[in-house]
Chain A
Amino acid sequence: MASLELIGVKKRYGAQEILKGIDISVEAGEFLVLVGPSGCGKSTLLNIVAGLDSATEGDVRIGGRSVKEEHPSERDIAMVFQSYALYPNMTVRQNISFGMEMRKVPKPERERAVQEVAKLLQIDHLLARKPSQLSGGQRQRVAMGRALVRKPRIFLFDEPLSNLDAQLRVDMRTEIKKLHQRLGATIVYVTHDQIEAMTLASRIAVMRGGELQQLGTPAEVYSQPANAFVAGFMGSPRMNLAPARLVEYADGPALGLALEIQSGDRLKARIPLPAQPAAVRAYAGREIIAGVRAEAIGFGGGRLNGHRRAVEASVEIIEPTGADTLAVLLVGGREFTARLGPDFPLKPGERGEFHFDLSKLVFFDPRTEQRIA
């Protein structure tokens, strides 16, 4: 297993800049997920790592050595594609051993390797079949088998689960995670599905418009998004982002900060805040964007303490999911999605008291959309 470094990678197609300078370093054995909306450049970046595309500027280093000039087959990588890319005219056995054939590995050795991998992925009974005779999940495993048999330094996955139905997708996700644990492989995985990203990654790289928005662990990306885009993209339901005003008020002898939320001429909501770092205090009297996750909102008084504040809100919509209830609340005229218990009693139109866990609040600058704190 090897490490991977992307250093100042840029990609231009004529006048269009697809990648605007990407710097990422992946340690050996890490599972890096590149996630972002379509068109963000993640697949292009993966192709550049693979050698299927070349960077206009910048370097790609595997195991400390630059591979920029090397042909894909010389980089000691393996790739699993969204459409599996199994050769339709070959049997499963031939599909898996094709790479070895190209490298002139002698037949007995090829046979052994194929058997080993087939047993591992439980496809040994399918070796004589052709791809058209396999189900989606089976094809996926053959594609993985083809990658495994190379014993590469790095595994690349290009949206491998997008073509599977929902249940199968969950099963395969677990398979891939098991593989990572068992082999300790360095994996670079591209997906547009942020749930996949969260569940599989040891680190996530969020991309948008050819630029890296944030590189961090799932927890970091989830709770401390670097900007409003990451906040809205990761997590389902997305983080609640509300434009608000930060005001100072007299709190006894000291000055406290409160959040004022108002939309149109609805009732203004005022939420006093606990002590905030200097960066936030600098925004006193100004517009700000407040972000809070659905889980940080709860129903009822609960145990109010330093950072839990009671807020009144009216219920717009309820979506019971079985395990919990997602409720869209109106606070100060703005919508907030809350994740509440499965036996949430209120109906749409009713008002109630909710509590917000303000320690989970994050703030963004309204103009730059970067996180303040």
Chain B
Amino acid sequence: MAAGRTPSMPGARRWLQRNLPKIVLSPTVAASLVFVYGFIAWTTLLSFTRSKTIPNFDLVGFLQYVRVWEHPRWQVAIHNLFAFGTLYIGLCLAIGLLLAILLDQRIRLEGALRAVYLYPMALSFIVTGTAWKWMLNPGLGLEKLVQGWGWTGFTFDWIVNEDMAIYTVVIAGVWQASGFVMAMFLAGLRGIDDEILKAASMDGASAPRIYLRIVLPMLRPIFVSAVVILAHLAIKSYELVVALTGGGPGYATELPSTFMYVHTFTRNELGMGAASAVMMLLTVAAIMVPYLYSEMRSAHRPAH
């Protein structure tokens, strides 16, 4: 009998088999390296340069950032982001939670109602913006409808009103996303063991008490998730503004995302566009990184 073993595959094929997983994964890794990390680096680099119409690699330190922050449109954009963001998140949470609690009460037609609250998420922001733009049209939409019902003094021209226009974005945004928040809360509510509620009842707690002291605290992780996702959506929201108000009237509904787009593609200020994009990324990171970090920590903590 021959001493030693006979390899069953020639060397090259063996190497291929052993490394196949890594080879298969590499296009995606390469794509991620280039198109995600590489591009972020590129844009960040551009934000430190003098680029206007075309990239130009003269480094000018934080000049572009200063220019952005001193720009009146950016200041409106930031103010809008806060106003819009807090209202958007707050209202989505409130309405989402309310709807979830209502739906959890063993309602007939629960499935149909859920489908109704959720369908706006399936629509493009452009479609949503178009629809609401039409509904909030001062002459032909909601205003006209209510006036037609007899309330002739009713005005609803927010959409063309500089001060109020951003709130129309809130309305359309909340309409679209609150169904999603509802779905999250509903799943959370369903995950609460009935027996806990029964025990609380036997302890003498009334229904509102039970919700406040037991149910809501148990939903805290969902609150956190929802806030993170909504904040993420708010920062990214671009299409909604474009379709609803076009950034207007004037630039009353400007948001960082529209600011970035306009300065990059229309106003030939690549440096400023890049700087604003970097700041958007930093804002998103400031929210996501602590959240993900705490998620991963708790995932490594479970009892074994």
Q: Do A and B come from one complex?
A: yes
A→B interface (CB under 8 Å): 64-71, 74
Q: Which residues on the B side are within 8 Å of A74 (C-beta)?
A: 8
Indicate if the CB atoms of B5 and A66 lie closer than 8 Å: yes
Please state if B5 and A69 are interface contacts (CB–CB under 8 Å).
Answer: yes
Can you list 12 residue pairs at the A/B interface with Cβ under 8 Å?
A: A64-B1, A65-B1, A65-B5, A66-B5, A67-B5, A68-B5, A69-B5, A69-B7, A70-B5, A70-B8, A71-B8, A74-B8
Give the chain A neighbours of B8 by CB distance below 8 A.
70-71, 74
User: Could you tell me the distance in whole angstroms from the C-beta of B73 to the nearest C-beta in chain A?
Assistant: 54
Q: Tell me the minimal C-beta distance from B16 to chain A in angstroms.
A: 13
A67 to B5, CA, bound (A): 8
In the complex, which residues of chain A have a beta carbon less than 8 angstroms from the beta carbon of B1?
64-65
B interface, CB within 8 angstroms of A: 1, 5, 7-8
Report chain A residues within 8 Å CB of B7: 69
CB-CB under 8 A from A66, the residues of chain B are: 5
Bound CA span A270–B5, Å? 62
B14's nearest neighbour on chain A, judged by CB, is: A69
State A217–B75 Cα separation when bound (angstroms).
84
Give A177 to B1 CA distance when docked, in angstroms. 33
Q: How far is the CA of A271 from the CA of B5 in the complex (A)?
A: 60
Complex CA distance for A66 and B1, rounded to whole angstroms = 13
Report the bound CA distance from A64 to B1 in whole Å: 10
Closest CB in chain B relative to A82 CB, distance in Å: 20
* Chain B residues whose C-beta falls within 8 Å of the C-beta of A70 in the assembled complex: 5, 8
Residues of B with C-beta under 8 A to A68? 5
Residues of chain A lying within 8 A (CB to CB) of residue B5 = 65-70
A362 CB, nearest partner CB in chain B, Å = 35
Instruction: Name 6 extra pairs, CB < 8 A, besides A67-B5, A70-B5.
Output: A64-B1, A65-B1, A65-B5, A68-B5, A69-B7, A71-B8
A66's closest neighbor in chain B, by CB? B5
Chain B hits for A64, CB < 8 A: 1
- Cβ-closest chain B residue relative to A71: B8
Q: Bound complex: CA of A70 vs CA of B7, how far in Å?
A: 8
Question: Considering the chains assembled together, what is the distance between the CA atoms of A70 and B1 in angstroms?
Answer: 18
**Considering only CB atoms, which chain A residue lies closest to B3 in the complex?**
A65
> B4 — nearest CB in chain A belongs to which residue?
A66
B113 to chain A, nearest CB (A): 34
Give the nearest-CB partner of B17 in chain A.
A71
CA distance A74 to B9 in the complex (A): 11
A40 CB, nearest partner CB in chain B, Å: 17
Q: How far is the CB of B7 from chain A (nearest CB, A)?
A: 7
The CA of A74 and the CA of B7, in the complex, are separated in Å by: 10
Q: How far is the CA of A71 from the CA of B18 in the complex (A)?
A: 11
Chain A, Cβ-Cβ closest to B8:
A74
Report the nearest A residue to B1, measured CB to CB. A64
Give chain B nearest CB distance to A21 CB in angstroms.
Answer: 22
Contacts of A65 on B, CB cut-off 8 Å? 1, 5
Please, which residue of chain B has its CB at the minimum distance from the CB of A74?
Answer: B8
Rounded to whole angstroms, the CA-CA distance of A292 and B7 in the bound complex is: 52
Complex Cα–Cα for A220 and B1 (A)? 36
What is the CA–CA distance of A71 and B8 in the complex, to the nearest angstrom? 9
A133 and B1 CA atoms in complex are apart in Å by 48
Quick one: closest A residue to B5, CB to CB?
A66
A-B complex: 8 closest residue pairs judged by Cβ atoms: A74-B8, A66-B5, A65-B5, A70-B8, A69-B5, A69-B7, A71-B8, A64-B1
Give Cα distance in the complex from A64 to B4, angstroms: 10
Closest to B6 in A: A65
Residues of B within 8 A of A69 (CB): 5, 7
Bound CA span A324–B1, Å: 57
A69 CA to B18 CA, complexed, in Å: 12
Cα separation A66 to B7 with both chains bound (whole Å): 11
Which B residues touch A71, using CB under 8 A?
8
Contacts of A67 in B (CB 8 A): 5
Q: Which residue of the partner chain B has the closest CB to A67?
A: B5
**Chain A, residue nearest B9 (CB):** A71
- Name the residue on B nearest A65 (C-beta): B5
Cα distance, A67 to B1, chains bound together (Å): 15
Please indicate which of the listed interface residues B1, B5, B7 has the most CB atoms of chain A within 10 Å of its own CB.
Answer: B5
Taken together as a complex, chains A and B put the C-alpha atoms of A68 and B5 apart, in Å, by 9
Tell me the smallest distance from the CB of B12 to a CB of chain A, in Å.
16
Q: How far is the CA of A69 from the CA of B8 in the complex (A)?
A: 9
- Minimum C-beta distance from B278 to chain A (A): 39
- Residue of B whose beta carbon sits closest to that of A70: B8
Please name the residue on chain A nearest to B2 by beta carbon.
A65
Q: How far is A64 from B5 in the complex, measured between Cα atoms in Å?
A: 10
Q: How far is the CA of A65 from the CA of B5 in the complex (A)?
A: 7
- Nearest CB on B from A54, distance (A): 11
Q: What's the least CB distance linking A330 to chain B, in Å?
A: 37
> Shortest beta-carbon distance, B6 to chain A, in Å?
9
Q: Specify the chain B residue showing the minimal Cβ separation from A73.
A: B8
A65 and B8 alpha carbons, distance in the complex (Å): 13
Q: In the bound complex, how far is the Cα of B4 from the Cα of A65, in angstroms?
A: 7
**Bound-state Cα–Cα, A65 to B7, Å:** 12
In the assembled complex, how far is the CB of residue A7 from the closest CB belonging to chain B, in whole angstroms?
14
B1 smallest CB distance to A (angstroms): 7
Please report the C-alpha to C-alpha distance between residue A66 and residue B6 in the assembled complex, in whole angstroms.
10
